[in-house]
Structure 1
Amino acid sequence: MNRLCYSTNVHPAEDLPGILRQLDTCAGPIRERTGFDRLGLGLWLAADAAAELAADPALLRRLRSELDARSLSVLAMNAFPYGGFHRRVVKHAVYRPDWTEPARARYTADCATVLAGLLPEDADGGSVSTLPLAWRRPWSPAADRTAEEALRRTAAAFRAVSDRAGRPIRLAVEPEPGCVLDDVADAVRWLATRADLDVVGLCLDTCHLAVSFADPERTVADAERAGVRVVRIQASAALHVDDPRDPAARRLLADYAEPRYLHQVRESDRSGRVLTADDLPEALDRLPGRGPWRVHFHVPLHAPPPAPLRATTDVLRRAVAAVRERTVVEVETYTWPVLPGRPAGAPVDVPAGTAAELLWAERELISERVDG
């Protein structure tokens, strides 16, 4: 089975008619541009659409037929954004509802049901990615206990779905800078003692991994030693700048400080400490810039940003090579509509860009795993 897909959270539709239109206007053209016989999707559904499909087996079968007719296969589901991911301002709203709120567990369980009905016949299983509990503030021991219980119940629901499907559907927790589970080490410590590790694992977003300045090989090895499997890799790249005090670098970084999404920044100083800022404007205003920066901005995999900025595709390559299990690799560049560098009002060609990324990933990531 082909294990390469792209995340459809780059597309704005949140209801079923809009999703079907996206198959024709976006996913179909992407498949044609890549030349793939079948194109893998990491499907994103807003909560209302997921609930509608989970409650109606006939509607779910219809969606599968529509996918098959277009040579599209759902290999995974992205259940991180609950909805509204393409509003004018998203920022911290992407973390709500969090894992203390019942709506998060319902949505995630609905996505498991949908994925079980859409997986291709030759898939040995699938995964649903989710947020790393919540944004870090406010958080308390009581909130932590509530989230642990919600994850326990959701894992039981996933196990039941897996039993009915005859193959595993796993929950993939995605660490992200600034959240309760800020990095992979945080997630491994939390999951190793609290989660059903047969059902719950990691979604390794390689942009987030790079922003944390973690060593990819050591990070993956530590997770494996703790019994926490990487069940999905989100192939993504962060912005890196060696000298954030360079005026040219600062001018370019300012172009990436856009109002829709949160762009957490980390600075690695000379003592080995990692300094933090919750968004790029804050970093430009407050961080000293005496060491390199990594910025949580998913940049295209195949097209380097303008110098002196660069992309962390080296971290991506190393992380993919370090994961020994044959996991789904999901290209997740959702930032095409907010990337700088095009004239104001000019349309963005998401199918062309995503197709180019998929071809890059097939050549640079998937082929290496097969050949190695």
Structure 2
Amino acid sequence: MRLLHPSGTPLHLGYCTNVHPAEDLDGIVAQLDAYAAPVRDRLGTDVLGLGLWLAAPVAGTLAADPSALGRLRRELDARGLEVVTLNGFPYAAFHDPVVKHAVYRPDWTERERLTYTLDLARVLAGLLPDDAARGSISTLPLGWREPWDAAMADAAARHLDELAAGLAEVEAATGRTIRVAFEPEPGCVVETTEQAVAHLAHADTERLGVCLDLAHLACAWEQPAAALKALAAAGLPIVKVQLSAALETAEPEALREYAEPRFLHQTRTRTGERADDLDEALDRRLPGTWRVHYHVPLHAAPAAPLATTAPVLRDAVAELAGGPEPLCDHYDVETYTWSVLPAALRPRTPAELAAGIAAELEFARTELRKAGVTA
């Protein structure tokens, strides 16, 4: 969806398709019919934005084959769908039975990550609407924190320099500006705003910046206003925002039905206790109020004593979009965990999932309107 900030800046709002498992072109086209088009119809919008997730093999195929890329563009156009952003965090196999730490490989010390991201940039340059100012790609925050040493940091820095140069080449060849956004996440080399500044402030900030995932921000127990102020002071642009909410509770036993084998659910407490997964946190009985990296539907509060970090999301949106100029123009709803929610909360059919995604987007659109944005 396209919204308009009072300054006259268009804002793009969509949903991230990493919630769907397709990893080839035919599967991606099929998911457009099963989910994206019904979501657009439910919202009554002429154009729906998608934050496409393209696994590495299909990204490579599309980058190398203009006819395949042209087909995808036509399939999107025919359904009233547009793409200004891609999710380049998961490399492949994001819906395997067990993902956990595998989602962080290859990391930014490995050339495969650079190749994949530049493939995505070439694809996005071919998918961007003609009137879009630029495109964005979110990626992992360098890598998982262990192991991470000076040699790995140097390798990652070299690849980031090559990334910026490659993005400049894409722009020279296509006339389209693509920026890459590093997404702070619990447990990674870059988990907090402070770490983002430390690791990224010396990068090419014309082409590289931050993807602010609001569930991750909440799990770090950061306040949106302070985080945004720190990024601005360091000159780090917010290239993309992922509208997401985490779980929160002061009674952790209520979380047991959320412990599941596919994704990592890093847990942080108000007092600074840490665990790298929910099972570990439950076993260790961490004291105090917990926030858990478990993306939950934005519009549907869980039963007490569980809550979500939606208040952090609301505060962040007010800061991001409520000023005289927006601090970001790309907004993506990213709830990829629908299939691993407790059984009673999971969608049972494609239609039910489409209805849930549409409700999340309506929630997000409402929050942006509260900040003064119009349709």
Q: Same fold (TM over 0.5)?
A: yes
* Counterpart Cα distance in 1 of 2:208 and 2:173: 18
Q: Report the AA paired with residue 175 of structure 1.
A: P
Higher mean C-alpha deviation, range 159-168 or range 175-184: 159-168
- With over 3 angstroms needed to count, the CA separation of the structure-2 counterparts of 1:280 and 1:222, relative to structure 1, is same
Structure 1 range deviating more: 311-320 or 207-216 = 311-320
Partner of 1:357: 360
CA shift at 1:306, angstroms? 1.1
Per-residue CA deviations over 1:94-127 (Å, capped at 9, x if unaligned) read 0011111111100000001111110112211011
Query: Are the aligned partners of 1:256 and 1:340 in contact in 2 as well (CA < 8 Å)?
Result: yes
Matched residue of 1:298: which SS? coil
Query: Of residues 204, 220, 229 in structure 1, which corresponds to 2:228?
Result: 220
Deviations 1:340-366 (A, max 9, x none): 142899547221110110111111224
1:57 Cα deviation from its structure 2 partner = 1.5
The alpha carbon displacement at 1:367 in A equals 5.0
Please state how far the C-alpha of 1:89 moved relative to its aligned partner: 0.6
Q: Give the deviation of 1:182 after TM superposition.
A: 1.4
Given residue 104 of structure 1, which amino acid in structure 2 is its aligned partner?
R
- Tell me the equivalent position of 1:275: 273
Measured in 1, the distance between the counterparts of 2:142 and 2:115 equals 14
Superposition misfits of 4+ residues, deviation over 3 angstroms? 343-348
User: Among residues 299, 319, 324, which one is paired with 1:322 in the alignment?
Assistant: 319
- Structure 1 segment 289-328 matched on structure 2, within 5 A: 289=287, 291-323=288-320, 324-328=326-330
Distance change (3 Å), C-alpha of 1:279 and 1:56: same
Which residue of structure 1 lines up, in the alignment, with residue 65 of structure 2?
A: 56
Greater relative CO (CA pairs within 8 A, separation 6+): 2
| Corresponding residue number in structure 1 for 2:26 | 17
Q: How does 1:341-356 map to 2 (within 5 A)?
A: 341-342=343-344, 346-347=348-349, 349-356=352-359
In 1, the alpha carbon distance for the partners of 2:162 and 2:319 equals: 31
* Structure 1 CA distance for aligned equivalents of residues 346 and 124 of structure 2: 38
| Aligned-partner Cα distance in 1 for 2:230–2:317 | 15
User: Counterparts of 1:132-143 in structure 2 under 5 Å?
Assistant: 132-143=141-152
Q: Identify which range, 200-209 or 32-41, moves more after superposition.
A: 32-41
Distance 1:102 1:326, change over 3 A: closer
CA separation of 1:367 and 1:162: change in aligned 2, threshold 3 A: farther
Contact 1:238–1:296 (CA under 8 A) maintained in structure 2: yes
**Does the 8 Å CA contact 1:275/1:287 hold for their aligned counterparts?**
no
Q: Specify the SS of the correspondent of 2:132.
A: coil
Q: How does 1:141-220 map to 2 (within 5 A)?
A: 141-193=150-202, 195-220=203-228
CA offsets 1:140-191 (integer angstroms, 9 cap, x no match): 1100100110111011111221233334210100010001111222112211
Three-state SS of the structure 2 residue aligned to 1:237 is: coil
Using the TM superposition, give the Cα deviation of residue 198 of structure 1 relative to its aligned residue in structure 2, in angstroms: 0.5
Normalised to the residue count of structure 1, the TM-score between the two structures is: 0.93
Q: 68-77 or 165-174, which moves further after superposition?
A: 165-174
Aligned equivalents of 2:316 and 2:234: distance in 1? Answer: 17
Aligned position for 2:9? none
Tell me if structure 2 keeps the 8 A contact 1:6–1:358: yes
Q: Does the CA contact (< 8 Å) of 2:317 and 2:371 recur in 1? A: no
Task: Give the counterpart of 1:230 among 203, 225, 238.
Answer: 238
CA distance in 1, matches of 2:369, 2:137: 21
Give me the whole-angstrom Cα distance separating, in 2, the residues matched to 1:262 and 1:356. 25
CA contact (8 A) 1:7 1:330 kept: yes
Matched-pair contact (CA < 8 Å) for 1:277–1:287:
no
Deviation at 1:305, TM superposition (A): 1.1
Residue by residue, what CA displacement relative to the aligned partner does 1:29-83 show, whole Å, maximum 9, x if unpaired? 1111111111100010000000000011222111101100000001200000000
Q: What letter matches 2:301 in structure 1?
A: P
Q: Aligned pairs, how many?
A: 359
- How far apart are the structure 2 equivalents of 1:147 and 1:347? 42
Aligned match of 2:55? 46
For 2:336, the equivalent position in structure 1 comes to 334
Equivalent of 1:81 in 81, 87, 90: 90
Q: 1:39 to 1:52 in 2, by over 3 A?
A: same
Structure 1 residue ranges without an equivalent (≥5): none
Conservation of the 8 A alpha-carbon contact between 2:338 and 2:346: no
Identity of aligned residues (%): 53
Q: Secondary structure at the match of 1:307?
A: coil
Task: Write the distance in 2 (CA, Å) between the matches of 1:210 and 1:327.
Answer: 21
Q: Which runs of 5+ in 2 are unaligned?
A: 4-11, 321-325
Answer whether contact 1:4 1:366 (CA < 8 A) is retained: no
Query: How big is the alpha-carbon RMSD for the aligned residues of Structure 1 and Structure 2?
Result: 1.6
CA-to-partner distance for each residue in 1:283-334, whole Å, 9 max, x for gaps? 1111432x21100000000000111111111111111222232421100000
